[in-house]
Amino acid sequence: MNEMASIIGDGQMALVLADALAVRGVPARIWSPFSRDATSLQITRRSPRLPEMELPRNTEVTDQDGLAFDGCTIIFSAIPTQHLRSVWRRLRPHVRADVCLVSVTKGIEIGTNLRPSEVIEDVLAGESNGVSDGSRRNASQRIVVLSGPTIASELARRLPASLVAASNHLQCAERVQELLRVPWLRVYRNDDVLGVEIAGATKNVIALAAGMIDGLEAGSNAKSALLARGLAEIARLGCAMGAKLDTFFGVAGVGDLATTCFSPEGRNRTCGERLARGESLENILASSTSVVEGVPTAKAVVQLARAHGIDMPIAQAVHAILFEGLSPEKAIHGLMSRELKVESVG
Amino acid sequence: MNEMASIIGDGQMALVLADALAVRGVPARIWSPFSRDATSLQITRRSPRLPEMELPRNTEVTDQDGLAFDGCTIIFSAIPTQHLRSVWRRLRPHVRADVCLVSVTKGIEIGTNLRPSEVIEDVLAGESNGVSDGSRRNASQRIVVLSGPTIASELARRLPASLVAASNHLQCAERVQELLRVPWLRVYRNDDVLGVEIAGATKNVIALAAGMIDGLEAGSNAKSALLARGLAEIARLGCAMGAKLDTFFGVAGVGDLATTCFSPEGRNRTCGERLARGESLENILASSTSVVEGVPTAKAVVQLARAHGIDMPIAQAVHAILFEGLSPEKAIHGLMSRELKVESVG
């Protein structure tokens, strides 16, 4: 393949993407926002965020903004949601208008309530920087959202996984499929960018609640009921915003939700479990090497639900636990004892 | 409450139902098809099928067909699918026409491809026995299907769980809600009897595949992708048969599927795991104290899929592993490497 990939970010997803690209023979460059992390990764070829993985030999590492996109034909954006805008503002002057942009971030930006792909578009379209506005305005057509059940430690061991490449730009989605065509990955195409991003963001909020069920030792019946009710409220929000119901049945919908709720390694699930066992949110976040996306996303999701007039009792309970001092025990009890009624998505 | 319940069957679900009914102050009688088991349960108040649970003091046990329904206002049917017809033929002469019938069986009858509630209806409608045919023909209106994520060992510990009471008869469904209104259970109503039964039957087949993924140590990303693809094929079959799509999003749909695929205690998941580790099906079934419903159901589901022209690759792979000697490893590999395409339920 005549491709060269830039990976923006040095977290878990950046590392496992570099591994898959290396196996496909695609040169990749990881850009880190932090000089010290870039140097350490460059020299040791290992990251404390995914210690079991060694960086492929042909993966470059840089912290130089001007080198981030040098020669690249495709960009993978793997930056935590709340830092996305500042990073892309910083890198914007160096982006060529004709590259495909692949976003793997799962969250909603606080304040704007924008999805990751919208934040990137917003930054690229917002300010002139020597490139014609016309090509900037087309950014959304070149964006692919890549999502699915992808616990990174499993990908580092090359265990099988499925993803969805969602885009309005068929050719970019097909290029992502081709770039990641390694034996352990299966990438489906989907044109519901909105639905895939809403599913990816909100599942982390539900996973916080799932972790609380684990912390309270309430069992897998309760967790599975929560998963079903959580999926219903995710779909309710997504469909109100214009997403397709089918998306929430897919690997990036219920698939990602299931792995996030049940894998012992999920960060959001683990955070919820520790909260229910009595640890403070501050302590948990301070001890985590990676961002727990569900925490800021809970704020944005509750705002989105309000804006769209959607009832999201689980997300609202998680928000109340995180930011309003409600006890997980009381919250779970409250969810279980809501008035008996006919269950429905609508 | 002025109710008296008969529970047909002495398996795990029969025992945990007796517990909930006792807490509600409802007298219950368990009928066992086997004299020896009935005597043992009557004396020891414990069953090898759920050793952690003690039978409530006010639960009677009988093996007498004539006593099975004596004085009862509602019947819970908790017999394995493939024995349902013979048991109900045996008990038919004693059924009063005006009682509500609650079916908790999850499966499809081999040969007829009937759902459990249909088998009961079929038996009750099929032969005259002194009660007018008119009241017999109304059996379907008095049937409630009770389903959901209900790992019995958790219910025995009274951990929280949700269920769905599906019926065309609102009053019977409401009576089931009322009978099971204990602090650890939440029962939703639903009028999609067909969808709830198809979901309950087919999830056991998908869980066999989920267990194989565990046996092959392929990870939770793979298992979650399987869950999503499995849910899609369950919904595809159900909708082709006339079920509502919403049902598969509910606790009796994705909720039950999740707990069956992820709980270490699930019988079908465990059976799949042991198969993938190289044990023979005969050995596994011989060593199980409870029926592994997914095994016979796989036969029926593959036939149903064929009859309705539905593609169910996971169920077909499970069938090939169980009955045609395909290796789990090859089957999982085959599922992962199917042609890349747009994912969809339809």
Taking only the tens place, the pLDDT of each residue in A245-304 is: 999 999 999 999 999 999 998 899 999 999 999 999 999 999 987 889 999 999 999 999
Q: Which of A178, A171, A159 is nearest to A24 (CA)?
A: A178
B159: nearest CA partner in chain A? A218
Share of chain B above pLDDT 90, in %: 86
Cβ pairs bridging A and B (under 8 Å): 205
Determine which helix (DSSP H) or strand (DSSP E) holds A31, and give its type and residue range: strand A28-31
Average pLDDT over residues B158-167: 95
Residues of B in contact with A231 (CB under 8 A): 249, 254
Q: Which of B267, B235, B249 is nearest to B106 (CA)?
A: B267
Count Cβ neighbours within 10 Å for each residue of A232-254 and write b for 16 or more, e otherwise. Answer: bbbbbbbbbbebbbbbbbbbbbb
Tell me which of B189, B220, B344 to substitute to probe the interface with A (most A C-beta atoms closer than 10 Å): B220
Say what the pTM is: 0.93
Banded pLDDT at B332 (limits 50, 70, 90): confident
- Indicate if B330 belongs to the active site: no
Q: Which of B203, B223, B244, B341 is catalytic?
A: B203
* CB-closest option in A159, A224, A255 to B259: A224
* CB-closest option in B148, B187, B227 to A255: B227
How far is the alpha carbon of A209 from chain B, nearest alpha carbon, in Å?
A: 14
Assign residue B45 a region: left if phi > 0, alpha if psi is -120 to 50, beta otherwise?
Answer: left
Residue pLDDT tens, chain A, 346 long? 799 999 999 999 999 999 999 999 999 999 999 999 999 999 999 999 999 999 999 999 999 999 999 999 999 999 999 999 999 999 999 999 889 999 999 999 999 999 999 999 999 997 444 444 444 445 667 999 999 999 999 999 999 999 999 999 999 999 999 999 999 999 999 999 999 999 999 999 999 999 999 999 999 999 999 999 999 999 999 999 999 999 999 999 999 999 999 999 889 999 999 999 999 999 999 998 788 999 999 999 999 999 999 999 999 999 999 999 999 999 987 887 765 455 654 4
Distance between CA atoms of B153 and B171, rounded to whole angstroms? 30
DSSP type of residue B143: E
pLDDT at B342: 55
* CB-closest option in B188, B245, B332 to A341: B188
Angle at A285 between CA A282 and CA A291, to 5 degrees: 150
Phi first, then psi: what are they for A60, rounded to 5°? -85, 160
Dmax (CA) for chain B in angstroms is 60
Tell me which of B224, B229, B244, B341 to substitute to probe the interface with A (most A C-beta atoms closer than 10 Å): B224
